[in-house]
Structure 1
Amino acid sequence: MDDHRLILGLESRLMNAWPSFDYQAYDGWILRLAGGYTKRANSATPLLPAAALDEALIDHMVSRFVEANVRPTFRLNGLQASDVDAMLDSRGFQEIEPTLVLAGPVDGDCVADPEVKLQSEVSKQWVREAAGSYGGDKADDATLMKIVSRIHQKAAFATLHLDDKPVAWGLGVIERGYVGLYDIVVAPDLRGIGLGRRVVTSLMSWGCQEGAHTAYLQVREENEIAISLYGALGFQPAYRYTHRVMPAPSSAP
């Protein structure tokens, strides 16, 4: 039960910190849609212990995804019933992107890095630069702006400058004693020299100033370098989630 309480507490904060455009509730599941930008904002997630699925409910939720032109995705965080993963697997849903939610204490120095600028409101410049450094599917700055503009909790939009040039970005969101760290990204040509760490520690210092006792973030299981970095900052695994996605239709010969 304690594990379920931790998962539910962090999942609730995550949903508030990274809003979707549409929310639909189905028997212990929350289906979220945000134009396909990030899986955490475009997936069906269990929010009650032992949340179950049956064939009819799967079909119904799949149809909602299809109507929204979003790939049907179930995000399994450990709250689901024990047979859910096997049920989705039997229907051909592929398992991808196992992810760790890490949590660590916020203590010690509450002073942010002086070269990290923290803004309480999002700017077009922050969105444009952060999205551009991500590249790929996450280069959609218009959708990113729509998501972060919907955050109702207190937030800090961080930009690290070197020689007056923006080189790294991040987002912190405070809720009920926790600071969530999102969208930590470094300019592609400057990765691996500790700039992301400076953004993370500055957002944790901001969280400290705002009364947070714990920080949390999400990192893909395959990203061993980031996991090692966060471990050095005191982060430990809180729980794990993975995705089951409907396979793309095969092309005609």
Structure 2
Amino acid sequence: MEFTIGGRLEVRITPADVGKRVSVRQRSEGGGAGAEFTDTVGVLTSWDDGVVSITRKNGQSVRILESSLVAGKVVPAAPARRRGPAASFPELAAVTARAWQPVESAPLGEWRLRAAGGFTRRANSALPLGDPGVPLGEAFGRVERWYEERGLPPYIQTSTGAEGTQEALCAELERHGWRREVSAQVRIAALAPVGDLDADVSAVRLAREPDGAWLSRYQRLTTPGPHVLRVLGSGPSVWFATVAGGDEGAEEDAVPAAIGRCVVDGRWAGFMAVEVAPGQRRRGLGTAVMAALARRALDEGASAAWLQVEEDNEGARALYDGMGFATHHSYHHFRPA
């Protein structure tokens, strides 16, 4: 990371660069002549009262004293990804939202308020894809009231790390007392290689609706009420995969060994709820579920794949790395402190 001109460190950014992607170097607190330095890359989201705020691609906001800056410059947007299909943030945001459709929704300008009885934040959060039509502080208040009227915690879903994402909105949320609660990655890949994975798909059963066995393996719910089934069944073309023979001692089909869900939407196939019984892992069952669903999606004309994985799920991230998935952007759920 080069900051120098003629061997001299220079700060070549100003408050006029707010909204641009920058790289800065700061002197560590209390450092003298032999001070250590820290580098930060992200979107410059504010520069007020001697404090510089930069939002990194993972959604983390970093506040830096202007007096500690020793170098800084505007940097170009991250280069186009070499793996996976071409995709813009607005396209992927719309596709991923259609895979988790709420039971109830309402507009707030170009934002969408979504509720589904509390089942999955993706269907119980405000989706801000444009102008809310009112000042942001007022929009945040309206979001809070809308969810409180329904007995639900208020969430706003934001995205960072790609062209056109919402680093500035993340910074505004933090300034208004909202805090990032959960972060995940949206990953994309070509679909055909997923369908070509070396996996035995003969034991994978596909269905249009989740049965009781499928729901018994799904770890994100305890009581599958009608709102859960409605969200899981939402999307243009939905498929559920089941591999029988779960936990030792269970009756046939009582608790499956593995499950998965796929939503086919035009050229995109979204993969979610891929779960394998703890005692059945490392046998290729997750790969078999993915391959079977991918082949069905290819039959329906899809050519690109996406999925969402939480940043701390190292096992799933390793599995998807091996399938060719690359991170497109990250998304976050903010909640009032």
TM-score range for the pair, normalised by the shorter chain length: 0.7 to 0.9
Query: In structure 1, how many angstroms separate the alpha carbons of the residues matched to 2:285 and 2:134?
Result: 43
1:48 is displaced (CA, Å) by 3.0
Matches within 5 A, 1:79-158: 82-108=167-193, 109=195, 113-119=201-207, 121-131=208-218, 134=219, 138-142=221-225, 143-149=227-233, 151-158=234-241
Q: Which residue does the alignment assign to 2:137? A: 55
> What's the offset of the Cα at 1:152?
4.6
Aligned pair partner of 2:97 in 2, 6, 15: 15
Whichever residue aligns with residue 284 of structure 2, its letter is G
TM-score, normalised on structure 2?
0.64
Matched, 1:177 2:177: no
Bigger Rg, which one? 2
Which secondary structure does the structure 1 equivalent of 2:118 belong to?
coil
- In the alignment, the residues of structure 1 paired with residue 134 and residue 291 of structure 2 have an alpha-carbon distance, to the nearest angstrom, of 39
Residues 234 and 53 (structure 1 numbering): CA distance in 2 closer, same or farther, change over 3 Å? farther
| TM, length-normalised to structure 1 | 0.84
* Structure with greater helix share of residues: 1
Segments of 5+ residues of structure 1 without an aligned counterpart are 248-253
Q: Which residue of structure 1 lines up, in the alignment, with residue 336 of structure 2? A: 246
Q: What whole-Å deviation, never above 9, does each CA across 1:168-193 have from its counterpart, x for those lacking one?
A: 11111111111111211222433454
Distance in 2 between residues matched to 1:19 and 1:245, nearest whole Å: 20
Aligned 8 A contact 1:95 1:245 in 2:
yes
Contact kept in structure 2, 1:52 and 1:81, CA below 8 Å: no
Give 1:157 shift: 0.8
Distance in 2 (CA, whole Å) between partners of 1:52 and 1:112 is 54
Q: Which has the higher contact order (CA 8 A, sep 6+)?
A: 1
Q: Which amino acid aligns with 1:239?
A: H
1:158 aligned counterpart, secondary structure? strand
Aligned length: 241
Mind listing any 5+ residue stretches in structure 2 that lack a counterpart? 1-76, 82-86, 247-251
Query: Does 213-222 or 162-171 show the bigger shift?
Result: 162-171
- Residue type of the alignment partner of 1:161: A
CA distance in 1, matches of 2:125, 2:243: 32
- Percent identical pairs in the alignment equals 25
